[in-house]
């Protein structure tokens, strides 16, 4: 889906919250908002260590700061919430304690299921509560913590300036949920050594927002503050809580040793050779974190374990021009990841494939944010971009690399920064440096700017093989975006220019040699509670791309409409008229794109969509027709068992016949014993059926692959884990009168143990 609707991101951000109420706890404070002014509320200190059991029977809770969530901001606009919610806050020297009490007149309708922590796509189907803590009180960055009625956790980082919400970030904290006859209660304890905050002996004031998600026929969202839809920023509307003094992160040390055992068996002489047992590989590793100060963190790792226990997201990669993007999931790289974000993706840590060691320093001092990262890698992953497509390769060589990032807050909500990335080996280097700025011009208007400069030198044999320059070369990149986002209108103007020789090998830049102008104009219409319309937007988006010779390579005019309604229906429709230049020809394309998602019952979701119209056959260099169908469903059977099904089908054809059809079908089955333990099975089937006479070169006419993965997972916290798993791959094909039935190619057994020691 396109990233055009910042207002939609605004809705998603607030999509999550919920809670239950005890009669003995009555609110002593109302809204954190009064006549346009933000009240600063004082949090009480307690000597008591609270037991996290979901009971709220300690004396400290009776003296805690009590904050109502009386405001419904969606679908209603700052009207009284239909159910009552209270947030309680207190702290001692080492912990921040937060509780929610959520009334529900029909507690049997509460949507709550067991799942793995940070299983966001499943989590958002449930009732839950949610809060943000802006510990630097700069209205730019906040920690997010979310809990459902059974105590399942989701945590993340919100970076306002980069428009970044990352649920991969993990903290070690405790939560407990309990469903009652009046609703549900959630109790939370967050160690201060898991947060970042200014080093000061003075009383600290933090930004704070509390929310509840109440999914029924629509997903109601409640908050501790009214939400002004004429403001494009979220954290600029947060409340303030004060009284934090004498808080301590302790020694602020964390060590996470890991030990991984794996064995991969390979079939030699495929397909008729025997399956030969591989050697058992043992890989010890350790990652450490030291809080030099509460706001300056040093991370280090030696022989880290970056093993993945989840298959990469299924993507069809047939007839594509540019490299596919897969998000980062590895814990070491996620600490302070938002410090390295810029409008152009100059830093993409998945390029670090097999590091021997790494070190990272991140933090913020007053208005200054700093991020430094260095690593020694054993694999050099390279992307060779151009205007017309990209190629990639991996080199087994010793590689040193690093990133330096500095950013300074200016004014109210604006920042400026500089960034450098570098990668070097014996006969290769890539250096990138530049500056960027985020300027909040008003409550609804934002300007983003970035300029980058690169210098690159490839090994001669690699340069010759991939058509790159043999001598060192330089390139540049420019980015500018202006957007306005208010209650009823959204519009943006964007400009990008990447020269033919610009390279960012520490980032993800799959296309260069282009100049792009984009405009987007949108009207927004808001619905009301219990109506057929919750939200509607429609508009026109257009862009034009030329290469360095000012030759038109791409253009598009997109008429679109998006709708939110009953049964949590989300639907979007696009009618696009495009031009695409490829291999010396310009192709006209008329395309229809439609998507929908429906959540009619507790723990149930259906979604699907299609892309239909003109396309380019990049292999045969000709105009074609394309049909892409996506469908999926998610079911929760009781609180413990869930099923996730997805199917992607694509067909490319011309008048002479069908060029190919491709299909990926994936099923995921999970049984959650409790919030710490689950077993999971993933089954993925991929099928490609080609018509060889319609290809300019010999191809396999039919290719089938089958992938399975089984995992047992036990997590006390994100780093104290036990994984036991198995995976295998099957391949079958027919080509040149050769037929190979589905045959197992390999199989892998693995076990990983990790432990988090914190002080």
pLDDT digits (tens, 9 = 90+) for 54-73: 999 999 999 999 999 999 99
Residue 703 has pLDDT above 90, yes or no: yes
Span 707-724, pLDDT tens digits: 999 999 999 998 899 999
Residue 402 has pLDDT above 50, yes or no: yes
The two structure tokens encoding residue 532: 């057929």
pLDDT at residue 162, as a whole number? 74
The two structure tokens encoding residue 604: 């149930």
Contact between 141 and 295 under an 8 Å Cβ cutoff? The reply is no
Q: Quick check: bond before 362 cis, omega within 30?
A: no
Span 457-488, pLDDT tens digits: 999 999 999 999 999 999 999 999 999 999 99
**CA torsion, ordered 533, 535, 539, 545, to nearest 10 deg:** -140
Q: Out of 286-300, 307-321, 605-619, 691-705, give the one with best mean pLDDT.
A: 605-619
**pLDDT grade for 329, boundaries at 50, 70 and 90:** low
State the DSSP string of 521-550: EEEEEE--TTSS-SEEEEEEEEEEEE-TT-
Average pLDDT of span 181-193? 97
State the DSSP string of 342-353: -SS----GGGB-
206: CB partners within 8 A, 6+ apart: 133, 134, 135, 137, 197, 240, 241, 242, 244
pLDDT at residue 319, as a whole number? 45
**pLDDT grade for 355, boundaries at 50, 70 and 90:** confident
Residue 747 has pLDDT above 70, yes or no: yes
For residue 400, give the nearest of 370, 431, 371 by alpha carbon: 431
Span 246-285, pLDDT tens digits: 998 888 899 999 998 889 999 988 888 899 999 998 989 8
Average pLDDT of span 197-225? 94
Query: DSSP label at 511?
Result: B
Span 575-588, pLDDT tens digits: 999 999 998 999 99
Residue 123: helix, strand or coil by DSSP? helix
Average pLDDT of span 213-239? 94
Contact between 16 and 210 under an 8 Å Cβ cutoff? The reply is no
Q: Out of 177-191, 261-275, 394-408, give the one with best mean pLDDT.
A: 177-191
State the DSSP string of 273-340: S-EEPPPPEEEEEEEEEEEEETTEEEEEEES-----SSPPPP---TT--SPPP-----HHHHTTGGGG
Average pLDDT of span 659-685? 95
Contact between 39 and 555 under an 8 Å Cβ cutoff? The reply is no
Span 534-556, pLDDT tens digits: 999 999 999 999 999 999 999 99
The two structure tokens encoding residue 616: 């380019």
Span 726-743, pLDDT tens digits: 989 999 888 766 788 889
Average pLDDT of span 82-91? 98
Round the average pLDDT of the chain to a whole number and report it. 88
Span 108-117, pLDDT tens digits: 999 999 999 9
The domain spans of the chain are: 6-244
Average pLDDT of span 379-408? 90
Q: Compute the distance between CA of residue 343 and CA of residue 449 in angstroms, rounded to an integer.
A: 8
> What proportion of the chain, given as a percentage, has pLDDT over 70?
91
State the DSSP string of 177-237: EEEETTEEEEEEEEEGGGS-----SSPEEEEEEEEEEEESSSEEEEESS---TT-S-SGGG
Average pLDDT of span 566-570? 95
> What proportion of the chain, given as a percentage, has pLDDT over 90?
70
The DSSP bridge partners found for residue 457 are 429
Higher pLDDT, residue 697 or 35: 697
- Could you tell me the end-to-end alpha-carbon distance of the chain, in angstroms, rounded to an integer? 43
pLDDT at residue 33, as a whole number? 32
pLDDT at residue 5, as a whole number? 33
Query: DSSP label at 84?
Result: -
Residue 311 has pLDDT above 50, yes or no: no
679: CB partners within 8 A, 6+ apart: 670, 671, 673, 710, 711, 712, 713
Assign a CATH topology to domain 6-244: Immunoglobulin-like (2.60.40)
pLDDT at residue 737, as a whole number? 66
**pLDDT grade for 310, boundaries at 50, 70 and 90:** very low
Average pLDDT of span 82-96? 97
The two structure tokens encoding residue 487: 């209650």
Contact between 277 and 322 under an 8 Å Cβ cutoff? The reply is no
């Amino acid at each position: 889906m396109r990233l055009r609707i910042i207002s939609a991101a605004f809705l998603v951000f607030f999509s999550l919250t919920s809670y239950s109420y005890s009669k003995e706890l009555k609110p002593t404070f109302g809204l954190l908002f009064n006549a346009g002014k933000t009240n600063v509320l004082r949090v009480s200190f307690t000597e008591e260590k609270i037991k996290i059991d979901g009971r709220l029977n300690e004396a400290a809770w009776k003296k805690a700061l009590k904050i109502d969530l009386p405001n419904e901001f969606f679908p209603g606009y700052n009207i009284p919430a239909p159910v009552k919610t209270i947030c309680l806050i207190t702290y001692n020297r080492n912990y921040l304690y937060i509780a929610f009490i959520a009334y529900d007149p029909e507690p049997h309708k509460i949507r709550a299921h067991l799942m793995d922590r940070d299983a966001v796509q499943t989590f958002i189907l449930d009732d839950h509560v949610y809060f943000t803590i802006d510990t630097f009180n700069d209205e730019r960055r906040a920690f997010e913590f979310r809990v459902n009625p059974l105590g399942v956790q989701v945590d993340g980082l919100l970076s306002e300036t980069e428009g970044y919400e990352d649920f991969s970030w993990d903290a070690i904290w405790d939560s407990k949920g309990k469903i009652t006859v009046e609703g549900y209660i959630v109790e939370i304890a967050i160690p201060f050594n898991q947060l970042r905050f200014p080093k000061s002996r003075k009383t600290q004031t933090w930004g704070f927002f509390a929310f509840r998600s109440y999914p029924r026929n629509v997903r109601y969202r409640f908050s501790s503050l009214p939400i002004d839809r004429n403001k494009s920023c979220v954290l600029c509307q947060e409340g303030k809580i004060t009284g934090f003094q004498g808080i301590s992160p302790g020694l602020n040390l964390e060590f996470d040793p890991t030990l991984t055992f794996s064995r991969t068996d390979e079939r030699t002489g495929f397909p008729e050779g025997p399956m030969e047992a591989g050697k058992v590989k043992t890989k010890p590793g350790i990652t450490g974190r030291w809080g030099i100060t509460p706001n300056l963190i040093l991370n280090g790792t030696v022989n880290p374990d970056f093993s993945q226990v989840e298959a990469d997201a299924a993507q069809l990669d047939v007839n594509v021009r540019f490299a596919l993007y897969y998000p980062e999931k590895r814990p070491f790289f996620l600490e302070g990841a938002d410090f390295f974000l810029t409008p152009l993706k100059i830093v993409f840590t998945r390029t670090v494939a097999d590091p021997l060691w790494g070190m990272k320093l991140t933090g913020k001092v007053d208005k200054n944010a700093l991020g430094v990262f260095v690593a020694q890698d054993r694999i050099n992953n390279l992307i060779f971009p151009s205007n017309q497509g990209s190629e990639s390769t991996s080199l087994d060589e010793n590689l040193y690399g690093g990133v330096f990032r500095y950013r300074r807050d200016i004014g109210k909500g604006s920042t400026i920064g500089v960034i450098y990335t570098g990668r070097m080996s014996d006969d290769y280097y890539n250096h990138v440096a530049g500056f960027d700025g985020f300027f909040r011009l008003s409550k609804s208007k934002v300007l983003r700017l970035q300029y980058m400069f690169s210098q690159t030198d490839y090994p001669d044999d690699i340069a010759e093989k991939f058509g790159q320059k043999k001598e060192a070369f330089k390139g540049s990149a420019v980015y500018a975006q202006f957007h306005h986002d208010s209650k009823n209108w959204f519009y943006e103007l964007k400009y990008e220019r990447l020269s033919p020789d610009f390279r960012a090998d520490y980032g993800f830049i799959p296309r260069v040699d282009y100049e792009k102008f984009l405009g987007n104009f949108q009207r927004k219409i808001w619905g009301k509670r219990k109506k057929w319309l919750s939200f509607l937007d429609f508009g026109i988006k257009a862009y034009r791309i030329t290469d360095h010779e000012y030759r038109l390579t791409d253009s598009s005019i997109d008429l679109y409409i998006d709708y939110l309604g009953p049964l949590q229906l989300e639907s979007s429709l696009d009618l696009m008229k495009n031009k695409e230049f490829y291999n010396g020809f310009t192709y006209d394309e008329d395309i229809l794109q439609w998507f929908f998602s429906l959540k009619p019952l507790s723990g149930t979701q259906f979604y699907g969509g299609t892309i239909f119209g003109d396309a380019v056959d990049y292999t045969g260099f000709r105009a074609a027709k394309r049909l892409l169908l996506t469908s999926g469903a998610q079911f929760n059977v009781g609180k413990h068992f869930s099923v996730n099904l997805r199917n992607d089908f694509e067909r490319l054809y011309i008048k002479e016949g069908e060029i190919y059809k491709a299909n990926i079908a994936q099923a995921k089955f999970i049984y959650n014993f409790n919030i710490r333990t689950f077993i999971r099975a993933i089954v993925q089937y991929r099928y490609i059926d080609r018509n060889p006479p319609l290809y300019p070169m010999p191809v396999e006419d039919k290719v089938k692959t089958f992938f399975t993965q089984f995992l047992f997972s036990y997590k006390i916290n994100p780093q104290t884990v036990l994984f036991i798993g198995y995976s295998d791959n099957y391949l079958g094909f027919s080509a040149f009168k050769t037929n190979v039935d589905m045959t197992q190619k390999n199989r892998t057994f693995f076990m990983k143990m990790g432990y988090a020691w914190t002080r």
